[in-house]
Structure 1
Amino acid sequence: MPTCIVCLETLKNPAALPCGHVFCYDCVIRLIRSVTPYTPDHHCPTCKQLYTISCADPNLVPHHLKHHVTPSVRKLHLEYSTPIPAKMPVTTAECGRLLAENASLRTCSLVWRKRAAVHATATMAFVGLARLARDYGMKMKKERDEFEQKYNELKKLYDERLSVHDRLRIAL
């Protein structure tokens, strides 16, 4: 089905510009009205060809030329249909083969669905185990940092006492 490049939907009430490009009539009118300040000259959204929307007064056009004067935006009537695929004769053997293939595909689908569920369960178990390991590692790191801090405090205290003890020994 033909689509309008302005609204990207199926053509509704199609209209053609002088260049031959087709759009929804409402889309063309909306484009024309969106130009400010008003001007009678517009450009095709596809090919940028200039067209004029001013119309000549039909009373001023000679009778023998009236059929040559057409509006710039012409409404169209398009008939289109979707192609119908050619029908192939279906035999009972073919139906039986297709039914068997369908049953086989359903069985395979069920097997793969069960495997996916088992895989998801295993994956979630590993994710849970990884979280526990991470939490335990964080706890161990915290304990190590606390022990290191206590060790540094005790070492500082020991060095201070050792230096005081050495000063006393030198003084005696």
Structure 2
Amino acid sequence: MTQTILHINASGTTDGSVSRAATAQLIADMNPATVMTRDLAATPLPQVDGTWITARLVPEEDRTDADRAALALSDALIAELKAADTVVIGMPMYNFGMPAALKAWIDLIARPKVTFAYSEDGPVGLLEGKRAVVAVASGGVPVDSPVDFATPHLRQVLRFIGIEDITVHVAKDVIAAQAA
């Protein structure tokens, strides 16, 4: 199957990163036609600010050049997401949660009327038909344990934007399976 993958690396560690090794293995196993990589350590994303928060709510036809400039990076990140069939995310767990770099990516791609909308029945994700594969690396917190606040948060955000097909792997298990 020909597919395009968006590979999100959220680990601040580049050499010896368990989540990076696991996602590299998962992608190799998928044999995709195209891989777009967004390395959040190599190219950190800004935190959203008041200018961005205000601009995202301005109807597109009413946006000023300043509004468009404030949303340009967000638009580019969303274009990557829309172009992908599968999103592969390497997520280390830091202090029971996701890295700030991954949270910044989430904040920039969760946009009303772009990746989600509100209906009479509540929020509706607009990125249907995609899947997500996540490799979670944790030194001591078991994935999906009561103190893992990262994995449920990421699943919720992905579902919120319309990605319902989500597979979560324990990163060290992916690496162990490859070594076996």
TM-score of the pair, normalised by structure 2? 0.18
Structure 1 or 2: more helix by fraction = 1
- Flag the structure with larger Rg: 1
Greater relative contact order (CA < 8 Å, ≥ 6 in sequence): 2
Structure 1 or 2: more strand by fraction = 2
